[in-house]
Structure 1
Amino acid sequence: MKLGVFTVLFSEKPFEEMLDHVKALGLETIEIGTGGYPGNAHCNPGELLENETKLKAFKKAVEDRGLTISSLSCHGNALTPDADFANQSHDAFVKTVQLAEKLEVPTVTTFSGTPGAYEGAKQPSWPVAPWPNEYGDILKWQWQEKLIPYWSEWGQYAADHNVKVALELHGGFLVHSPATLLKLREACGEAIGANVDPSHLWWQGIDPVAAIKILGKHNAIHFFHAKDTYIDQENVNMHGLLDMQSYANMQDRAWYFRSVGYGHDLKTWADIISTLRLVGYDGAVSIEHEDGLMSIDEGFQKAVANLQQVLMKEPAPDMWWL
């Protein structure tokens, strides 16, 4: 496995300065934002696809530092009823897939998307209960009329360009759990897989180790984000896990994001990394930092230091003792 970072964390730094900063901390690979929610501060797919000189310079800057690109991220919502953002998200996805093929990047990370509750709705709708029955009807309509048709076409498009699509299992989107990921994968093909981020599994009450085992049996893990979550049980008792308070209201929230090792101990993270190896995942461990208690650099550096203790970089040995 290679330790890396989702570089939107350093969007204020110029591209090559960001690369130098990442390299100096001993990282090996980078995940770069190309549009959607992460923005495209370091990588504008349209510009690079239209200008071969810029594309070569971009690739050379990464390679000259001994780094690789693990994924291009265009996390957006191509299914939203907001036509402008849906079109932006879709365009970013298509161009990101095209760029990934040119750069020989194996994976594009994004969200599955969430449509409205019905045709003509103004906002996305994320049903979380089967009753009253209209919620179940909404969910069925969303899957049959929006989600599966979209990813049947565009998952195949990615496959045709030798790119895998890693959908982040994130609340608020229709694919947010192992079951929803596998359901979509069965309908749309094996180009669709999971971007496993333990932070979003913990707050849903899902054990990341168990989720990795489930997905691993289907060879359905395409990417991995390293981010932690702290669960405040006293606040869970008040607000539940579907807490709609601002992330900034950390004293009262049921849960909030932490840097790796500050929500769960390193034994837990060692189990996660070991299980990734157990199921055959040998890709990037991409640090995502959204810790409201630490500065960008401090939180990032602590995540690097903690993961270096548990990451396994050398190939597993032959079992000489057998």
Structure 2
Amino acid sequence: MKLGVFSVLFGQQPLEETLDYIASKGLQAVEIGTGGYPGDAHCKREELLADEGKQRAFKQAVETRGLTISALSCHSNPLHPQKAISSEHDRIIRETIDLASKLGVPVVNTFSGCPGDHEDAKYPNWPVAPWPNDFQEILDWQWTNKVIPYWTEIGQYATERNVRIGLELHGGFSVHTPATLLRLREAAGEAIGANLDPSHMWWQGIDPVQAVHILGRAGAIHHFHAKDTSIDPINVNKHGVTDMQSYSLMLDRAWQFRTVGYGHDMKVWADIISALRLVGYDYVVSIEHEDGLMSVDEGFTKAVQNLQQVLIREPLGEMWWV
């Protein structure tokens, strides 16, 4: 496995300066935003697509520092019921796939998106309860008319360009659990897989180790984010796991994102890394920093230090004791 980072946290710094800093920490990979919610501070998608010379220079900037690009990321909502939004997000995803293909990057990360509840809806509707039955009707309509058709088309688009799609399992979107990811993958094809982030598993009550097993046995983990979550034992009883308070209200929230090791101890993270190895995932573990209690530098540095202890780097050798 290789250790990497999602460079969006260094968006205020130029690309070359960011890459120098990442390499100085001993990392081997970088995940780069190309638009959508992560922005495009380090990768101007349209400029690169239009100029092969700029593509070569972009790759060279990464590779001469001993790094590889693990994924291009354009998290967005291509199923948004407002057509102006969904059309723009669809364009970003397709262009990111095109760019990944030209750069030789194997994975594009994004969200599944979430539609509305009918053709003239204005806002997304995320059903999370089976009753009253209206919610089941909405869910069926969304998957039949929006989710499966769109991602079947995008999966084929990506396959034709030798790119895989890593959907981040994230609350508020149609694909947010291992089961919903596998449902979409069965319908839309094997180009669709997970960008598995354990932080979103924990707050939904899902054990990330088991999520790795469920998805890994199906060959459905295309990328992995390293981010932690802490759950407040008092606040969760007041607000529940679907806490709608702002992430900035950290003292009152039921749960919050933390850097690796500050929500769960290193034995838990060692179990996650071991599970990834067990199911055959031997790609990049990409740090995502969204810890409201730590600066970018401190949160990132602590994540690197903690993951260095548990990451399994070397190829699996012969079991000499068998």
Range of TM-score over shorter length: over 0.9
Distance 2:46 2:262 in 1: 38
Q: Deviations over 1:186-228 (max 9, x none)?
A: 0000000011100000000000000100111111100100000
Matched, 1:295 2:295: yes
Paired position in structure 2 for 1:254: 254
Distance 1:317 1:88 in 2: 47
Paired position in structure 2 for 1:121: 121
Amino acid at match of 1:311: L
Amino acid at match of 1:318: E
Paired position in structure 2 for 1:279: 279
Paired position in structure 2 for 1:109: 109
Displacement of 1:160: 0.7
Paired position in structure 2 for 1:49: 49
Displacement of 1:316: 1.3
Structure 1 residues 1-322: aligned runs within 5 Å = 1-322=1-322
Q: Deviations over 1:145-189 (max 9, x none)?
A: 000000111111001100000000100000000000000000000
Displacement of 1:81: 1.3
Displacement of 1:229: 0.1
Q: Report the 3-state secondary structure (helix = DSSP H, G, I; strand = E; otherwise coil) of the residue aligned with 1:13.
A: coil
Distance 1:250 1:36 in 2: 26
Distance 1:190 1:58 in 2: 29
Distance 1:74 1:146 in 2: 19
Distance 2:204 2:75 in 1: 20
5+ unaligned residues in a row in structure 1: which ranges? none
Distance 1:52 1:85 in 2: 29
Distance 1:136 1:31 in 2: 37
Displacement of 1:84: 2.3
Distance 1:139 1:233 in 2: 31
Q: Report the 3-state secondary structure (helix = DSSP H, G, I; strand = E; otherwise coil) of the residue aligned with 1:233.
A: coil
> Following TM superposition, where does structure 1 have runs of at least 4 consecutive aligned residues deviating by more than 3 angstroms?
none
Amino acid at match of 1:91: R
Amino acid at match of 2:65: R
Q: Report the 3-state secondary structure (helix = DSSP H, G, I; strand = E; otherwise coil) of the residue aligned with 1:223.
A: strand
TM-score of the superposed pair, with normalisation by structure 2: 0.99
Amino acid at match of 1:297: D
Amino acid at match of 2:148: I
Amino acid at match of 1:40: D
Distance 2:174 2:199 in 1: 17
The question of whether the paired residues in 1 share the 8 Å contact of 2:196 and 2:223 is answered with: yes
Q: Report the 3-state secondary structure (helix = DSSP H, G, I; strand = E; otherwise coil) of the residue aligned with 2:229.
A: strand
Displacement of 1:55: 1.0
Q: Report the 3-state secondary structure (helix = DSSP H, G, I; strand = E; otherwise coil) of the residue aligned with 1:87.
A: helix
TM-score of the superposed pair, with normalisation by structure 1: 0.99
5+ unaligned residues in a row in structure 2: which ranges? none
Q: Deviations over 1:97-133 (max 9, x none)?
A: 0111111111000000100011100000100001111
Count of residue correspondences: 322
Amino acid at match of 1:220: A
Q: Report the 3-state secondary structure (helix = DSSP H, G, I; strand = E; otherwise coil) of the residue aligned with 2:224.
A: strand
